[in-house]
Amino acid sequence: MEAFRKIYESFCEPLYRFAYSYLKDSFESEEIVQDVFLKVWEKRAEVDEQKSFKSYLYRITVNKIFNELKHRVVKQKYDQHLQNFDQTSIETPESSIQFQELNKKVEHLLTRLPEQQRNIFIMSRWKGLSNAEIADTLDLSIRTVENQIYRAAKFIKLHLNDDYPIGILLIVFSYQWI
């Protein structure tokens, strides 16, 4: 534990600065550094002492930065799609009925999910909590939260894909839908 603390004290600030140089976001940079050290702690038994530990830390950091940047691109495309989405298409009586039916179907599908998975999905997609906030609230790892959200979304999409257009599905998976 003492060795880990020393490693943390030695590398925390340099890794933060490195992440910030790419992300330009202090919160995300801090999250990445926390995730890096969490991964190091979880994989501590597997660390190859023959290889450079500094390189190992930076490789994890680079991978997490890359994932965050990919996530930003996807989110930006998603946000752009929502901005371009014709709001009038969901304001017609027919669309309103379809939207209500979709709401009922999603609520039904949520009841078919395991309780923890359902709660995590709702906290993420409808309450707008970050994965870290959910993990902290439920005393779970961030990886578990990510996996549960992925599985819930996959299940719901699988059961909705044939019945609803992509624009409606985007609303389902956006924050604070209900």
Highest mean pLDDT among 81-95, 126-140, 150-164: 126-140
Fold of 2-77: Rna Polymerase Sigma Factor; Chain: A (1.10.1740)
Q: What is the percent of the chain where pLDDT is above 70? A: 78
Residue 62 burial by CB count (10 A; 0-12/13-18/19+): exposed, middle or buried? middle
pLDDT, residue 42, reads: 86
CATH architecture of 91-172: Orthogonal Bundle (1.10)
Dist CA 129 CA 173 (whole Å): 13
Kindly state the average pLDDT of the residues 84-106. Answer: 66
pTM: 0.49
Q: What is the residue extent of each domain of the chain?
A: 2-77, 91-172
